[in-house]
Amino acid sequence: MLSIDIPMKRLFQRRPADWVKFVEPQCREEWIRPYQTEYTPKQQSRLDHVLEVEDPARGSYLINFEPMATTT
């Protein structure tokens, strides 16, 4: 894992709703929550993040983030 990957993942963990609003600007923060089912592993992965959005106009959908960073 590159040294920049850890800060990128930490930024996502702290403010996941901001990342969703970057992709979907009209999305409201109260519509966003972590996606969990009985199939989700009990131990949370730090590699990717799935969020569920319940948009009243468009219905429910999932957004999967897998932050990856690199240096050049």
What is the SS3 assignment for 52? strand
pLDDT of amino acid 55: 93
Q: What is the pTM of this model?
A: 0.67
Minimal CA–CA distance to 18: which of 9, 29, 10?
29
6-55 confidence digits (pLDDT tens): 777 778 888 889 989 998 999 999 999 888 776 666 555 555 678 899 99
List the structure tokens of 15.
Answer: 């403010």
pLDDT of amino acid 31: 94
